[in-house]
């Protein structure tokens, strides 16, 4: 299946994709704040520039888009229908890079939690997951 957009239109659309301040990130930040947890944003000194950083707890949270970070088993992580020679290495590279950054964080004594974009739909389950991760249940 051919791309329905011109090269210029596709380029413009792709340039609108951001890595900070996305709707899923803002929703997660609002939820975490409402639960009483305070955090720092996008600490560039930590591997992977985590979305939410809890320095006193040495914990971080990443919010990952299912498509961009290859959420295994998720319907939102389907492969594109065209230009697979471009997309496969790009998306697989994102996945491998995520694993590498998470391993580096662990070596530094930090723990990490990945929240997937699709998980934002179930607020109750997400609240339990965040409270378990950030709570003092260690």
Which tokens is 39 given? 């955090």
Q: Starting at the edge strand that comes first in sequence, how are the strands of the sheet with 52-54 ordered?
A: 40-41, 52-54, 59-64, 111-116
Which tokens is 120 given? 């934002």
User: What domains lie within the chain, and their CATH numbers?
Assistant: 20-134 (3.40.960.10)
Instruction: Reduce the secondary structure of 77-111 to three states and give it as a string.
Output: HCCCCCCHHHHHHHHHHHHHHHHHHHHHHHHCCCE
| Per-residue pLDDT in tens (0 to 9) along the chain, 138 residues | 456 767 777 667 666 665 666 888 889 999 999 999 999 987 788 998 898 999 989 999 999 888 888 888 888 878 888 888 888 898 889 899 999 999 999 999 999 999 999 999 999 999 999 999 998 544
């Amino acid at each position: 299946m051919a791309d329905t957009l011109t090269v210029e239109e596709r380029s413009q659309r792709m340039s609108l994709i951001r890595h900070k301040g996305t709707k899923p990130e803002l929703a997660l930040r609002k939820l975490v704040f409402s639960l009483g947890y305070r955090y720092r944003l996008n600490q560039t000194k930590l591997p992977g520039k985590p979305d939410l950083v809890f320095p006193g707890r040495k914990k971080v949270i990443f919010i990952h888009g299912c498509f961009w970070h290859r959420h295994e088993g998720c319907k939102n992580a389907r492969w594109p229908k065209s230009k697979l020679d471009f997309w496969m290495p790009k998306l697989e590279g994102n996945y491998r890079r995520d694993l590498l950054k998470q391993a580096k964080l662990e070596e530094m004594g930090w723990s990490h939690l990945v929240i997937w974009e699709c998980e934002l739909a179930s607020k109750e389950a997400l609240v339990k997951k965040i409270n378990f991760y950030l709570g003092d249940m260690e």
